[in-house]
Structure 1
């Protein structure tokens, strides 16, 4: 019985000290929204790997596919660097991490 009373006292104290936040603290409408992802970054991120044909193909076509893949890799690296710069700018402006 003593344990039950102790537990009830601890729970009651926790509820009393914890309190409930007021509705104004929970209202997010007054806060500035995060900016949308820049269109050029979104387009860059969604670029897909070159199609590899399901049929047999020669050396010239293979070299072309590899060249396209290397160009895409370099473009995605540049895109990733721009995305990091954008995320750091958002973090600096809003004072919180975007990750």
Structure 2
């Protein structure tokens, strides 16, 4: 009887663990940017699919991650601003500057 309870408990725990949603994947590396005021910012290992605000707009973006970064002219990651930045690439921006970024 004791073995039966142990097996049932182990199977229950296994079912609970496998039923949990997978954790969100993240880009490995760091996004660095310089805003229009010359201030430096960085975000390490950003979560794919999340919208990140670029404080005061970015004059320069350096995608030091292993994932493509798409920049947007608005604050809500809706209006794409130019081509996406592939992993390891950087770009300077004039007007308009990006105000948000998302990784995919």
User: Per residue, is there more strand in 1 or in 2?
Assistant: 2
Q: Could you tell me the TM-score, scaled by structure 1's length?
A: 0.26
- Write 1 or 2 for the structure with the bigger share of helix: 1
TM-score, normalisation: structure 2: 0.25
**Rg larger in structure:** 1
